[in-house]
Homo-oligomer: A and B are copies of this chain.
Amino acid sequence: MATKVGIIVLSGTLDKAMPAFIIGTTAAAMGMEVGMFFSFYGLNVIHKEKMKNLKVSPVGNPAMPIPVPQIFTILPGMMDFATAMMKDMMKKHKVPSIEELINQAKELDVKLYPCQMAMSLFGYKEEDLIDGLQKPAGAATFLNFVNAGEKSLILNF
């Protein structure tokens, strides 16, 4: 019986969604059974329109390698600049994009669950979300999935 890996995605930023999918697809490629549960702002990652505009935020992240003092990070355009810089770095180093990672996840049979409660909270309908997802589910469905493995790993991004 395979190890089950449960990944909760609560953040809607590029710098959280990327590592979540990298861990998820790697674990699936190693033969683990992986489920990802998208809730709160994490729903954006699987939202047809919003997934195209995931950002990184330099504001409040003193560890981001942005060549300006923190006070300038709040200026209009800085978030887009930081996001473009990050996307550019990723492309240059052949890190797959979110779209590519989602496709890899689907091919590797990673199960992608939208959180029912968060969908109703933000007013998202099933047709607003990308194709190939599991039925909207709650925390119990997700915990049952994770707990059914011989070994269970659970992570929260």
Interface presence of A1 (CB below 8 A): no
Cβ-neighbour of A155 out of B8, B54, B79, B140 (below 8 A): B8
Cβ-neighbour of A44 out of B40, B63, B139, B146 (below 8 A): B63
Residue pair A39, B63 in contact (C-beta under 8 Å): no
Residue pair B140, A30 in contact (C-beta under 8 Å): yes
Mark contacts of A59-97 with chain B using CB atoms, 8 A cut-off: 1 yes-contact digit, 0 otherwise: 111111100011101111011000000000110010100
Q: Give every chain B residue within 8 A of A29 (Cβ-Cβ).
A: 140
Residue pair A63, B12 in contact (C-beta under 8 Å): yes
Closest chain B residue to A151, Cβ basis: B152
Q: Give every chain B residue within 8 A of A70 (Cβ-Cβ).
A: 57, 59, 74, 76, 78-79
Known contacts: A93-B120, A143-B27. The answer to whether A63 contacts B11 by CB under 8 A is yes
Interface presence of A117 (CB below 8 A): yes
- A122 CB → nearest B CB, Å: 6
Residue pair B139, A22 in contact (C-beta under 8 Å): yes
Residue pair B90, A62 in contact (C-beta under 8 Å): no
- A130 CB → nearest B CB, Å: 16
Residue pair A65, B156 in contact (C-beta under 8 Å): no
Q: A12-B63, A153-B154 are in contact. List 15 more A-B contacts (CB 8 A).
A: A3-B147, A8-B155, A23-B139, A26-B143, A29-B140, A41-B64, A57-B62, A59-B70, A70-B76, A70-B79, A71-B74, A71-B76, A89-B122, A93-B117, A151-B152
